[in-house]
Amino acid sequence: MTCPICNDEKAISQPDGSRIECSCQLIARFKSYLGEWNRSGVQTVSLDLKTYARNLLFEDFFANRFNRLVASFLAQSFVGPKFSHKAVSGHDIIQAYFSNGGNVSELQTVPFLIINLGIDPPNSFYSQTLEAFLEERSRNAKCFTWVNSRYDVTSQTFSKIYQPELAAYLTAPMMKEVEGSALPQPRMRTDGTPVIRFQRIPKNLKI
């Protein structure tokens, strides 16, 4: 569709002879930044970026609510600290590791990664591979991951697809080596509570 303001010239002439960028270019950059999350009919809401720019676990969320949350987060970050982002499935990560030309390095370093679980065929490699993958991402302070599971990770359905070990990993506290201790110890917050690898988001979150 031709822009009715600039007639697709991307700029607007001013009385002094200068030209300024048309608003259609800002809209185009915004849509490009949102990528697949730029969906018609999705109304965004205001979010605190610091609250959501971290490892989060969404379980049994309705697709439209999760889509709205992602679109809202990206829309908010468009005018602040933009994040390169990508959405993949568990199977995509397996393929990135084991197929020729796999892009596992790209997935490990993209700042904002969304992993959609519950849509994959059962595979005994998921638990070990995804744990190693997420552990590698956790070493990069600039990266954060949203795990969006169709099922509660403690459910039998989730365990049949991904193995119980993956559910245990996602919901366990982060560990650290402690001098004088033979075993790693949980990382603790200043209030004495453990730092969980992925913060579980309540299913009744209002967005």
Check residue 13 and give its pLDDT. 86
Q: Strands 19-21 and 11-13, how do they pair?
A: antiparallel
What does the alpha-carbon distance between residue 204 and residue 202 come to, in Å, rounded to a whole number?
5
The pTM is what? Answer: 0.83
What does the alpha-carbon distance between residue 101 and residue 54 come to, in Å, rounded to a whole number?
29
Q: Which residue has the higher pLDDT, 81 or 92?
A: 92
Q: What is the pLDDT of residues 149-182, one digit of tens each?
A: 999 999 999 999 999 999 999 988 765 555 666 5
Domain annotation for the chain: domains and CATH numbers: 1-38 (no CATH), 40-201 (3.40.50)
Which residues, 6+ apart, have CB-to-CB distance to 140 below 8 Å? 108, 109
